[in-house]
Chains A and B, each alone.
Chain A
C-alpha cells in the first residue's frame, strides 16, 4: 500500500509531466493529429430532425448581388477560394481553375450562367458539391434556411435553359434555389475537346 508521501510524490510527478507535455512545443503534424483525434471524438452523426415533408435545408450565398441557395445535403465542402487561374478556350461560365485540397478544380460563376457579362470582382468562397472537380464561386455566405418545396415558385421561364433545368425554385427574397449537383454535372458545361 502506498504511503501518502509516495502518493503525493507520484501526483506531483504526474502534474509535472502534464505541465511539460502541455507547454512543450509541438510540430504541425502533432497538432494536426491532436486536432484530428479531437474532431473524431466530438463528431456526431447529424441528428435526424423532424422536417416537414418536402422540406430541405439550403445554404444561401451571394455572388455579384445575386442570391442563390444550394441544398445542404448536396454540399461536399465550403471553403475560402484560393487564386484562380483563367483557362483559355473554355466557356465564359467558368472563372478558371483553382487548387482545393491538392486537387485542381474548376470554378463556375453563377451570374455568368444567368447571362450577366459584368465583371464583378474576385469571389471569396468556393462551394463544392458532389464528386465533380468543380465548384461554385460566392462572395458572401449567408445563412442555412429550411425550404418547403411546396411553397416556392418554380423556375422562371425567362431563365436561360441550362439554369432553368436545374432550378428548384425561387424564393420571395429573390433567392434562386439550385440543384447545384445537377447543374455542375450538366453535359453542356462539360468541356471535351477532340484533338
Chain B
C-alpha cells in the first residue's frame, strides 16, 4: 500500500487518534498507580496499561510505524516487568514511563518508516535500562503485507438513534478530518449493528442547516405578523363600511332612492365581499399560527437533539489533566494536589476542543507562576503540597470554569516594573493604576513578569492566547488575585455556540443583540434615581452602587440626552466580579439568533462578538459583554455620562413663546432674574422647532399666537411620548372658565391669566413645576 493511498492515509489518521487516546489512558492509569493503589487494583491497572501498550504496538507495527512500535514495545516490556514482579516498587519507573508517553506523539510524527529520533531515542534507552531487554522489532507491516493482514483499528461508533444515554455512553467522532476519537463512558459498548460513524464536520453542517431553519422560522414569524396586520387593516375597512352604511340609513331613514339606493346597494355588495375576505383571512391567520407553532416546536426539538449529539462531558478534556499537572509539577520541582469538580458538565464539541489550549495555559500558569516550591510554602506556613482546583458549573446558558491556585497571588509590583520597562506605563501611571487594570496588562500579547523564559513559560504567550481562544467562542476570561490568597482564572463559555438567546437593544437608529446569559438585570429608572459618585453616574442595585453609562457612548455612537425622559432603561451586565449598568434607548425584545463570527478583514472588532442575519435579511451585530465591561472599567465613556446631574446643576432652561414683543421682553426679564436660562420665540411653530433642536425644562406659552396657537402647541406636545412630561404653563389674556378648561384639557400644567399677572406668581408656578425651591 502506497503512502499516498487514501485508505492508508485514513488508517494512519485513525492510528494517530487511537494512539492519543491510548497514551492518555496509560498515563492516567500510571498516575493512579503512583498515587497508591491496593495490590489487587495495582495488578488490574498494570494489566490494562499493558493491554493498551500492546494494542498500540500492534496497530503501529501493522502500518509501518516502526519507531512508534518500538517505543510501545519498550513501554509494554517495562509494564510486563512490573506486572510480573508483583511486589516490586514501580516508583523508579514512573518518570521513565511518563517520559516515554510524552515522546509518543513525536514518534508518531516521525513515522512511518523512522528508525531514530533525537527525542524518542533517550526515552527508549531509559525504558531499556529498566527492563534490560533490547526492543524487539515490531511485527509485519501493513504496507508490506497488505490490508488482509492488518490488525483492524478499533471501531469507533456513534449510535444512530437520538437517545441521549445511548449516545453518551459510547460515542466516537473524529476530532478533525476523517479520524476518530473514542470517548468511553460507563457501560458496555452498544452492539455494532446499532451504531454508525458520523464525522463532526457532517454534524456541524447539520447544525448549520438547523440554524438556517431557525432563520427561516423567524422569517415565517415575520410573514405571520404582516398577515395579522393585513387582517387588522381589512377588519378596520369593514368597520368603516358598516359605519358608512349606518350613516346612509340615518340620513335617509325611509326608502332610499336614486343615487343613495345605488350607493347603498354597492356598499352592501362591497361589504359582503369584504366580510368574506376577512373571514378567509382569519382562517388563514389561524392556520398559519398553528403551522408556525408546530414548526417552532419541531425545529426547536430538532435543534436540541442535534445539539445534544454534539455535546460531550467536560471530562473529555479534563481526563488527561491529572497527568499533565503531574508532569508540569515534576518539571517545575513543585508538589501539586489537583482537585477537579464538575467534569460531568456537558459542552458543545467545538467548545470542548477549543478549551484544551486555554485550560492548558491556565494550568501552566497555576503551576509555574501560582504554586510555590515546597520549601517556600513551608517557610510561609503552608503545607508543602500546593493546591490547584478546576471547578466547572452551570450558570444559565453558560458554563463557568475556574482554575484556582493557592499560591501567593499575582505580584503587582512585578507587573508595574515590567510595564515601566516595556514603556507601557510611566512611573506615575504604574503607581496609580488600580490592581484590576494592572491585571489587564497580563492579557497583553508578550507580557510576562518572568525575566527569563524557560521551555514552559515566561514568553508571555499564555493569557493573551487564552483570551483570544475563549473570545472566539463568544466566551470571556478574567483573572482575579489578591496577595496571599492565590489566583483564579475564570473562563465563561456558552453551552452552545450556534444559537444564542439574545436581547435586542435599540441604540439610536441601530439595533444590537446581547446574550441574555450576560445580563443580570433589566431596570427602569427615573433620572432622579441616578447618583453621582465622584465623576461617575451610578445606580443602586441590590443595595450596591453600580456604575451606569450610556451604551451609545461606549460604542462611540451619539447618545441621546436622558434629561427629557421620564424613564431611563438600563441593563446590568456582569462577568466574573465586574458589573456595569448600560443605559439603552429601547429594549426591542428577545430573539434566539443564529450566531456567526465576523470574518477577515473584520477579524476582531472591539465590543462586537459576531453578527446574525435576521428574518428580514438584515444583519444585527452581537455585542461582546466583556469588551463593554472592559471599556467601562477603562472609563472609555468618560465625559459622556447620562447627563442627569449636568441637567440638575446648570440653570433650568425655559422656552418662552409669546407673539407680543413687550410681553415677551417683560416675562423674559422676570424669569432670567429668577435664574432661568430663557429662550424666547414669537409663536407656536417656532417653539416646536426650538424643542426639536434642544432640550428644555419648562415651556411658558401665550395661547393666542399666529401660525400655531398655544393650545395646539400643547396638544401636539402631549401627543408625543418624549414631550409628555415637559411642564407647560399657559399665560394668556383669555380668562373665562371655558378658556381655562380648554387649556387644562390640552394638557397644560398651569394656566395664568395676564390680568391676574404678577411676577412672583409666575416664578413660583414655574419653580413649583420643575421642583425648584
Contacts and interface: CB of A to CB of B under 8 A. Distances in A.
Interface of A: 82-90, 94, 96-99, 102-106, 132-134, 184-185, 189-195
B162 interface: no
A87 B714 CA distance: 39
Contacts of A104: 596, 598-599, 610-613, 619
B603 A190 contact: yes
A97 B512 CA distance: 13
Contacts of B608: 87-89
Contact of A195 (B596, B600, B620, B627): B627
Contact of B604 (A85, A132, A193): A193
Interface string B440-473: 0001110000000000000000001001100100
A133 B464 CA distance: 25
Given A99-B617, A194-B445, A90 B607 contact: no
Interface of B: 212, 443-445, 464, 467-468, 471, 510-511, 555-557, 596, 598-608, 610-613, 616-621, 626-627, 630
A86 B605 CA distance: 12
Contacts of B600: 132-134, 190
A87 B603 CA distance: 13
A133 B596 CA distance: 12
Contact of A97 (B467, B511, B617, B619): B619
Nearest to B212: A102
A132 B601 contact: yes
B626 A97 contact: no
B599 A192 contact: no
A104 B617 CA distance: 11
A88 B602 contact: no
Contact of B596 (A103, A193, A194): A103
14 contacts: A83-B618, A85-B611, A85-B620, A87-B602, A97-B611, A99-B617, A104-B599, A104-B610, A133-B600, A134-B602, A189-B601, A190-B601, A193-B605, A195-B604
Contacts of B443: 195
Contacts of B610: 104
A103 B555 contact: no
B619 A99 contact: yes
Nearest to A98: B619
B630 A195 contact: yes
Given A85-B510, A102-B212, 12 more contacts: A82-B618, A85-B611, A89-B556, A89-B605, A90-B605, A99-B617, A103-B599, A133-B600, A191-B601, A191-B603, A191-B605, A195-B627
Nearest to B445: A194
B617 A87 contact: no
A89 B613 CA distance: 20
A88 B617 contact: no
A165 to B, nearest CB: 15
Contacts of A94: 602
Nearest to A86: B510
A62 B529 CA distance: 53
A7 to B, nearest CB: 47
Nearest to B611: A104
A126 to B, nearest CB: 13
B746 to A, nearest CB: 39
A133 B603 CA distance: 10
A76 B212 CA distance: 23
**Leading 4 A-B pairs by shortest Cβ distance:** A133-B599, A193-B606, A83-B618, A88-B555
A52 to B, nearest CB: 34
A85 B604 CA distance: 16
A104 B599 CA distance: 8
Nearest to A99: B613
A103 to B, nearest CB: 7
A142 to B, nearest CB: 26
Contacts of A82: 617-618
A30 B433 CA distance: 65
Nearest to B630: A195
Most buried by A among B443, B444, B510, B556: B510
A98 B602 CA distance: 12
B598 A97 contact: yes
Contacts of A97: 598, 602, 611, 619, 621
B603 A85 contact: no
A184 B600 CA distance: 10
B604 A191 contact: yes
Contact of B619 (A83, A134, A191, A194): A83
A135 to B, nearest CB: 11
Contact of B618 (A99, A191, A195): A99
A4 B339 CA distance: 90
Nearest to B606: A193
A87 to B, nearest CB: 6
Nearest to A188: B601
Nearest to B607: A89
A101 B601 CA distance: 18
A89 B606 contact: yes
Nearest to A131: B600
Given A82-B618, A89-B608, A133-B600, A195 B613 contact: no
A55 B270 CA distance: 67
A88 B556 contact: yes
Most buried by A among B464, B596, B605, B620: B605
Contacts of B604: 191-195
Most buried by A among B468, B608, B616: B608
A133 B606 CA distance: 18
A76 B543 CA distance: 57
B441 to A, nearest CB: 12
A195 B469 CA distance: 12
A104 B600 CA distance: 11
Given A85-B620, A85-B621, A89-B555, A106 B602 contact: yes
A31 to B, nearest CB: 17
Contacts of B619: 83-85, 96-99, 104
A87 B621 CA distance: 8
Given A89-B555, A103-B596, A104-B599, A83 B621 contact: no
Nearest to B612: A104
Given A86-B510, A88-B607, A89-B555, A184 B601 contact: yes
A106 B601 contact: yes
B557 A192 contact: no
A118 to B, nearest CB: 19
A194 B460 CA distance: 15
A132 B621 CA distance: 19
A90 B602 CA distance: 8
Most buried by A among B555, B556, B613, B619: B619
Contacts of A195: 443, 467-468, 471, 604, 626-627, 630
